[in-house]
Structure 1
Amino acid sequence: MSDQEAPVTAPTPDPALRPVRGAARWAVAALALAALAWAARAVWHLRLAMAGQPASGPPDQGGGWHRPLTALEDSYHLVSSVGGAVTVLCALVFLAWLDRVRDNARALSGAEPRYGSLWLYLGWILPVVNLWIPRGVVADVHRSVFPDRRLPAVVNWWWALWLAGLAGGVGLMYTDSTDEVIARAYTAVLPLLAADAVIVAAAVTAALMIRTLTTAQQRRLDETAPTGRPGIVP
């Protein structure tokens, strides 16, 4: 071999693809639990409204003084706490699924996502930009792999319901304390029930969206595997 020959470099390996079915099942299960949790909140809102406010007034009496809770009000605190914990768990499992399908979309298309990895998390919590970036991240997953296909309508339905659940100060992002929500249930339960219904619908639609995008991406993965393109790793 001549000393002047250029060294042979190994080709850069293609990025590995990640399985998505398991993450999708977990995300759908978490969303089902979240829907049940918010449906339970709606039942308790209705129970409070039907029971009526006690003669002693709302739980928060003002001036930093709270009266003792009734048994129904105390049970609502438990339902609310469990619902909050389930919602946090659902968010984490959803993001784990989204991270997987996003990585696969990048590997399959060979193009960097429109939104960087940081937006996968910050996009949900930063004011104003949280009105469009999370939907953009999800839409990018589909369009990077299927640029010639229309975005599934279920994505837009999910996002519209999600935004409706954030609006009005009675849904996912209300800042009232649990005792203040109880007082609302006594005096104006309809907005609370409407918010509960929207959030349950958003959870159900999100589950349908996950199944739709996962099925489409899995078909592409199945088509890719026999061709010698990037393999699937755990």
Structure 2
Amino acid sequence: MDQPAARPLAHRPVQVSGQLAAGGLVVAGLAWVVRGVWEVRLARAGEPDAGPPDQGNGVHRPLNALENSYHLVTSMGDVLVFLCAALFLSWLWRLRENARALSGDAPKYLGIWVYLGWIVPVVNLWFPRGIVVDAFRAGAPGRKLPGSVDVWWGLWLIGMLSGVGIVCRDSTDQIIGRAYSEVWPLLVSDTAVVGAAVAGAFAVRAVTAVQVERLRGARAAGSQVTGVV
């Protein structure tokens, strides 16, 4: 008797998405390097006699040329980071959906957490990494998690929790004041952010490569079953 043809594996193309996400992370890291360079320039220039830009009680003095350029650098960096985030989330969604198609099991984390997991307090300390790990293990059981994933997440947490890095509630003028008074905490945080971006790019490439390999193997196995009579 003929065996029923295997259903083709439904998947979302992830290779190009992974390349774009990795590239976006590198670009965001470079933007943060430029930001750090400007903070060093501010520290070397020294605080003007008029004091910091944020005078307190809602009073801000006119900015000088260097301070204005720092505002421009941070604004451009914010745009690049936003684009990087969009590319990364697109890749993460595809990774998660492909892992579900490969394993046949429901993901551990609901799809909404692909987006909200980064901004909801407390859960943002582990949900994003958990989504990556869950998708990797579901799609490639038995494979060792790339070490770059843990390096990326560790540096990301340092940059996020430092108070001057990825998630910073201070205004740009207040950060300028910090650069004038004590630039080293800013530079340490900047280093963590850049390191997270670089490690993240390696993590995306490694995780993507494993899933692409598994998808190709699954499609090949499906083709062989389809050809069996």
Q: Distance in 2 between matches of 1:11 and 1:117?
A: 31
Asked if the contact 2:17/2:90 (under 8 Å) is kept, the reply is yes
Match of 2:56 in 1: 62
Extract unaligned runs of 5+ from structure 2: 224-229
Deviation per residue, 1:92-132 (Å, 9 max, x gap): 11000011111111001111110010111111110001111
Asked if the contact 1:124/1:130 (under 8 Å) is kept, the reply is yes
**Equivalent of 2:101, from 102, 107, 110?**
107
Provide the aligned length of Structure 1 versus Structure 2.
Answer: 220
SS at match of 1:38: helix
Q: Which amino acid aligns with 1:142?
A: F
Q: Distance in 1 between matches of 2:57 and 2:213?
A: 61
**Equivalent of 1:192, from 179, 186, 196?**
186
> What is the deviation of 1:63?
2.9
Q: Which amino acid aligns with 2:149?
A: V
**Equivalent of 1:178, from 146, 169, 172?**
172
Q: Which amino acid aligns with 1:191?
A: P
The structure number with the bigger radius of gyration is 1
Q: Which amino acid aligns with 2:214?
A: R
SS at match of 2:55: strand
Larger mean Cα displacement after TM superposition, 87-96 or 55-64:
55-64
> What is the deviation of 1:213?
0.5
> What is the deviation of 1:221?
1.2
> What is the deviation of 1:227?
2.1
Deviation per residue, 1:156-191 (Å, 9 max, x gap): 111101101111211111100000000000001000
> What is the deviation of 1:146?
2.2
TM-score normalised according to structure 2 size: 0.92
Larger mean Cα displacement after TM superposition, 15-24 or 30-39:
15-24
Larger mean Cα displacement after TM superposition, 146-155 or 78-87:
146-155
> What is the deviation of 1:14?
5.7
**Equivalent of 1:81, from 75, 78, 85?**
75
**Equivalent of 1:135, from 113, 116, 129?**
129
Larger mean Cα displacement after TM superposition, 187-196 or 144-153:
144-153
Q: Distance in 2 between matches of 1:157 and 1:112?
A: 27
> What is the deviation of 1:150?
2.5
Extract unaligned runs of 5+ from structure 1: 1-9, 230-234
**Equivalent of 2:42, from 33, 40, 48?**
48
